[in-house]
Amino acid sequence: MVKVKGINVYVDKSGEGKQAVLLLHGWGQSSHSFQEVRTFLEKSFTVYSVDLPGFGLSDKPNYPFNTADYAEVLKGIIDELGIQTPIIIGHSFGGRVAIKYTSLFNEVKKLVLVDSAGIVHRKPLSYHVKVYTFKFLRRFFSLPLLKKYKDRVLSKFGSNDYKQADDLMKQVLVRVVNEDLRNDLPKIKCPTLLVWGTNDYVTPLKDAYIMRELIPDAGVVEIKGGGHFSYLDNLPYFLRVLAVFFNEDK
């Protein structure tokens, strides 16, 4: 455990390579989701698998974090463990944190973003109608005679991530998913690999190409047929892509 910002953060260290690699998981996951990737990388690198605050074995945030708060936690971990210029691999929400960290501190050798969050699109009218309906029903079912029906009715609204989160993490989720990181992307100066599933409907493939246009040194690799966990949908291919990217400057 590493104590940062007053909370305990779980970090698993494996391998003894000269170059450090940090693995950042997605929302609702933990460091375990990168187990196969870690096993592959630890043969050549020192690998740090992080349970981000609120997930896995780490403490919950002590207030509703935004993306910058998570980036500061990552900075604290890196400083506390004496990690020098790491490679960072971030999936989904972990990619969001990696983007923010790299744009703020610029102490990253290479960056790999896998089906990464960070691009916010304009919501359709149907979305706003649903949000308005949810807010109305939340107030309506707060009336004394209707409170017992509140949870049952409101459970029909919101994403699975939102439904499964406790009150604090719901606040965190709402904060981070509404942060558009387009302005952070041009500040990323290290070589960046964008790995994306062609069938990712959570963070669509077009987001990869938006990021490629905004990050000065970035390229896209598509995983055909891959979904939001494209690195697991075709793990052998993903590992080959990593090997090439990590070794191209040797």
User: Is 89 in the same domain as 194?
Assistant: yes
Q: What are phi and psi of 13, to 5 degrees?
A: -110, 135
Is 74 in a helix, a strand, or coil?
helix
Number of domains within the chain:
2
Question: Do residue 102 and residue 195 come from a single domain?
Answer: yes
Q: Are residues 137 and 18 in the same domain?
A: no
The pLDDT assigned to 203 comes to: 96
Q: What is the pLDDT of residue 210?
A: 98
Rg (the chain; Cα; Å): 19
Residue 212 in domain: yes
Other residues' Cβ atoms within 10 Å of the Cβ of residue 84:
11
Which among 166, 192, 224 is the end of a domain?
166
Domain-embedded: residue 174 = no
pLDDT in tens, the chain (250 residues): 999 989 999 999 999 999 999 999 999 999 999 999 999 999 999 999 999 999 999 999 999 999 999 999 999 999 999 999 999 999 999 999 999 999 999 899 999 999 999 999 875 544 434 445 545 545 655 656 556 555 655 555 455 555 566 689 999 999 999 999 999 999 999 999 999 999 999 999 999 999 999 999 999 999 999 999 999 999 999 999 999 999 866 5
Helix, strand or coil, per DSSP, at residue 142? coil
Are both 134 and 108 inside the same structural domain?
Answer: no
Q: According to the model, what pLDDT value does residue 153 have? A: 52
Determine, yes or no, domain membership for 171. no
Cα–Cα–Cα angle for 144, 146, 152, nearest 5°? 135
Same structural domain for residues 111 and 75?
yes
**Is residue 99 a part of any domain in this protein?**
yes
Residue 173 domain flag: no
State whether 51 and 86 are in the same domain: yes
- Residue 128: its pLDDT value, please? 38
Q: Are residues 149 and 194 in the same domain?
A: no
Task: Tell which of 134, 166, 198 closes a domain.
Answer: 166
Note whether residue 30 is domain-resident: yes
Residue range(s) defining the domain that contains residue 155: 125-166
Do 88 and 212 lie in a common domain? yes
Neighbour count for residue 122 (Cβ, 10 Å): 5
What CA–CA distance (Å, rounded) separates 183 from 112? 18
If asked whether residues 155 and 48 sit together in one domain, one would say no
Do 21 and 95 reside in the same domain of the chain? yes
Whether residue 219 is found in the same domain as residue 232: yes
Q: Do 108 and 62 belong to one domain?
A: yes
Instruction: Say if 172 falls within a structural domain.
Output: no
Question: What's the CATH number where 11 sits?
Answer: 3.40.50.1820
Q: Confirm whether 52 is domain-assigned.
A: yes
